[in-house]
Amino acid sequence: MPTQELYVPPPSLLLALSEAHRAALEVMLLGVSRRTLKRIAPRGDGHAVMVLPGFMGGDGYNNTFRRFLGGLDYTVHGWGMGRNLGPREGVLEALEFKLRDLADRYGGPVSLVGHSLGGIFARELARAHPDLVRQVISLGSPFGEGRMTASIPARLFTALNPPEKLPIDEDVLSHPPPVPTTAIYSKYDGIVNWRTTLQVKGHARTQSIAVRSSHCGMTLNPAVWLLVAECLACDPEQWRPFQRGSWRSLVYPAAG
């Protein structure tokens, strides 16, 4: 892994120490808003969606999130490889096989939703196989420049994934894949610096959307659930950026 020229500090100590407590509050808020979400979230068209977990996470962590998306008429799958320990030997190849299988089985491109490291995997899959990917949605994924100094778990990641063995070209990680790409980020992220989780330079079908969320609670946050549902419901051939007008400006902060 090449040394990053840009230094971006990790989140503040206050954000890091309050991360778990804020995630717990998001779970509580989700519990009281789930029925409302089911009523107001747009329905899907049945296309396949794969949800990829963050570093050290697994399918169990986002199971509730996947059930919600499945209830909107999407065909939702986890990544099916246990705990995400990084791009170790065979991981990316297995993901490519699963992507091809889902696209063949359901007769069309697959939407990829990835939390943290899972979002980086999703972007790289779409970069390598844009014909198989309908869109990419990343949740707090540190793909931007300076990511290795901006992330609290960076040392553990490096220990498990020696730089010289990484199968990903880090020089292009910050470049968006050639498909509709949404980067959901939070200035209240206590695990990675939010500046590395939004798309700085993109193309006509890229966007960055701010939410009020912890890092660990992104797949348990009702505002994120609704936002992902709206992105998934958008036809990629008629793609349009998310609009913050009306009541949405109260839930989704201004970008930047």
In a domain, 52, yes or no: yes
Provide the CATH number for the domain around residue 235.
3.40.50.1820
| pLDDT tens-place values along the chain, 256 residues long | 444 468 888 899 999 999 999 999 999 999 999 999 999 999 999 999 999 999 889 999 999 999 999 999 999 999 999 998 878 778 889 999 999 999 999 999 999 999 999 999 999 999 999 999 999 999 999 999 888 787 877 766 666 555 645 556 777 889 999 999 999 999 999 999 999 999 998 899 999 999 999 999 999 999 999 999 999 999 988 899 988 777 777 788 877 6
- List of residues 6+ apart from 152 with CB closer than 8 A: 10, 11, 16, 190, 191, 192
In a domain, 86, yes or no: yes
Give the pLDDT confidence score for residue 89 in this predicted structure.
79
Cα angle 140, 144, 145; round to 5: 145
Give the pLDDT confidence score for residue 167 in this predicted structure.
58
Q: 66-106: per-residue pLDDT in tens? A: 999 999 999 999 999 999 887 877 888 999 999 999 999 99
Is 152 exposed, middle or buried (CB count within 10 Å of its CB: 0-12, 13-18, 19+)? middle
Count of domains for the chain: 1
In a domain, 36, yes or no: yes
In a domain, 192, yes or no: yes
In a domain, 22, yes or no: yes
Domain span at residue 222 reads 13-251
In a domain, 185, yes or no: yes
Q: 27-38: per-residue pLDDT in tens? A: 999 999 999 999
In a domain, 6, yes or no: no
In a domain, 4, yes or no: no
